[in-house]
Amino acid sequence: MMYGLRSTRPELHHALVVSGSYLFVIASVGLIALLIYRGAIQAAYVFGFCLLVVIAAIGFKLSVGMIRSAKLVHQLRMAEAELRQSEQRMAQAARAGKWGVWEWTVGADNIWVTDQIRTLYGFAPAEQISFNRILSVVHDDDRDMVRTGVLQLMENGGEFSRQYRVVLPGGQVRWIAAQGIVDIAADNKKKIRGVSFDISELKRSSDLLKQEKAFLKQLIDINPNLIFTKDRQGRFTLANQAVANIYGTTVDDLIGKTDADFNTSAEEVQWFHQSDTEVLDSLQKQVIPEERITDANGKTRWLETIKLPVFDSHGVVSLVLGTAIDITERKEMELDLAQQRQEQAHRSRVMMLSELSGSLTHELNQPLAAILSNAQAALRFMAQDSPDLGEVREILQDIVSDNKRASEVIQGMRLLYKKGCMQFELTDMNSVVGNTLNLLRSEMMNAGVLCKVNLTLDLPEINAARAQIQQVLINLIMNGCDAMAGIVESNRLLLITTEMDPQQGIRISVSDQGHGIPAETIDRIFEPFFTTKPQGLGLGLSVCRRIIIAHGGHLWASGNANGGTTFFFTVPVYEGSKNEQSWSKGSDS
Which range (71-85, 204-218, 475-489) has the least confidence? Answer: 71-85
Give the span between the Cα atoms of 552 and 530, in whole angstroms.
24
**Same domain assignment for residues 231 and 176:** no
Whether 212 is in a domain gets the answer no
**Tens digit of each residue's pLDDT (9 = 90 or more) over 545-577:** 888 888 889 999 898 888 889 999 999 988 765
Share above pLDDT 90 across residues of the chain, in percent, rounded to a whole number:
24
Average pLDDT for residues 511-527, to the nearest whole number?
A: 82
Diameter over CA atoms, the chain? 199
Same structural domain, 501 and 368: yes
User: Helix/strand/coil (H, E, C) string of 135-159?
Assistant: HHHECHHHHHHHHHHHHHHHHHCCE
Q: How far apart are the C-alpha atoms of 522 and 136, rounded to whole Å?
A: 93
Cα separation, 467 vs 432, in Å, equals 9
Same-domain pairing of 554 and 460: yes
Number of domains in the chain: 4
Average the pLDDT over 46-73 and give the result: 64
DSSP state of 255: B
- Predicted pLDDT at 589: 27
Among 77-86, 243-252, 425-434, 485-494, which is the least confidently predicted range? 77-86
Give the CATH number for residue 425: 3.30.565.10
pTM: 0.44
Q: Which of 177, 204, 231 is the last residue of a domain?
A: 204
- Using CA atoms, how far apart are residues 15 and 468, in angstroms rounded to an integer? 126
Residue 131 is part of a domain; what is its CATH number?
Answer: 3.30.450.20
Give the span between the Cα atoms of 384 and 386, in whole angstroms.
5
Measured CA to CA in angstroms, residue 271 lies from 163, 233, 421, 578 at distances of 49, 14, 27, 32
Q: Are residues 315 and 411 in the same domain?
A: no
Give the lowest-confidence range in 370-374, 380-384, 417-421.
417-421
Residues 165 and 255 placed together within one structural domain of the fold: no
User: Does the structure show a pLDDT above 80 at 431?
Assistant: yes
Same domain, 298 and 408: no
β-pair partners for 292:
302
- What percentage of the chain carries pLDDT values higher than 70? 70
pLDDT attached to residue 5: 42
Beta-carbon-side half-sphere exposure of residue 35 (alpha carbons within 13 Å): 12
Q: How confident is the model at residue 93 (pLDDT cuts 50, 70, 90)?
A: low
Q: Residue 10, class by beta-carbon neighbours within 10 Å (0-12 exposed, 13-18 middle, 19+ buried)?
A: exposed
Q: Is 334 inside any structural domain?
A: no
Band (pLDDT 50/70/90 cuts) for residue 191 is confident
Could you tell me the pLDDT band of residue 203, with boundaries at 50, 70 and 90?
confident
Q: Kindly state whether residues 510 and 540 are assigned to the same domain.
A: yes
Tell me, yes or no, whether 358 lies in a domain: yes
Model confidence at 264: pLDDT above 50: yes
Last residue of a domain, one of 90, 119, 134: 90
Q: 470 and 361 in one domain?
A: yes
Distance CA 98, CA 85 (A): 19
In terms of domains, do 400 and 502 share one?
A: yes
Closest CA relative to residue 406, chosen from 447, 439, 357, 440: 439
Query: By the 8 A CB rule, do 447 and 356 touch?
Result: no
Strands 236-239 and 110-113: unpaired
Residue 118 lies in a domain: yes
How many Å apart are CA 416 and CA 559, to the nearest integer?
Answer: 30
Query: Which residue range forms the structural domain that includes residue 256?
Result: 223-326
Strand, coil or helix: 564: coil
CA dist 397 → 246, 375, 378, 382 (Å): 66, 11, 11, 15
How far is the C-alpha of 493 from the C-alpha of 141, rounded, in Å? 100
Q: Is residue 539 part of a domain?
A: yes
Instruction: Give the whole-angstrom CA distance, residue 53 versus residue 180.
Output: 62
- Same domain membership, residue 436 and residue 528: yes
Q: How many CB atoms lie within 10 A of CB 573?
A: 23
Decide if 392 contacts 378 (C-beta within 8 A). Answer: yes
pLDDT at 95 over 90: no
Residues 236 and 254 sit within 8 Å (Cβ to Cβ): yes
Q: Is 114 left (phi over 0), alpha (psi -120 to 50) or beta?
A: beta
**Is residue 131 domain-resident?**
yes
pLDDT score recorded for residue 83:
65
210 in any annotated domain? no
Task: Kindly report the average pLDDT of the chain as a whole number.
Answer: 78
Query: At how many degrees (to 10) do helices 466-483 and 540-550 cross?
Result: 140
Residues 313, 191, single domain; the answer is: no
| 582 and 479 in a common domain | yes
| Residue 195 CB burial class (10 angstroms; 0-12, 13-18, ≥19) | middle
pLDDT band at 493 (very low <50, low <70, confident <90, very high): very high
pLDDT, residue 44, reads 52
> Looking at the domain assignment, is residue 112 inside a domain?
yes
One-letter amino acid of 572: P
**Can you tell me whether residue 575 is helix, strand or coil?**
coil
Q: Which of 482, 478, 475 is nearest to 348 (CA)?
A: 475
Region 213-239 average pLDDT: 87
What pLDDT does residue 2 have? 40
Residues 48, 33: contact at Cβ < 8 Å?
no
Last residue of a domain, one of 34, 69, 90: 90
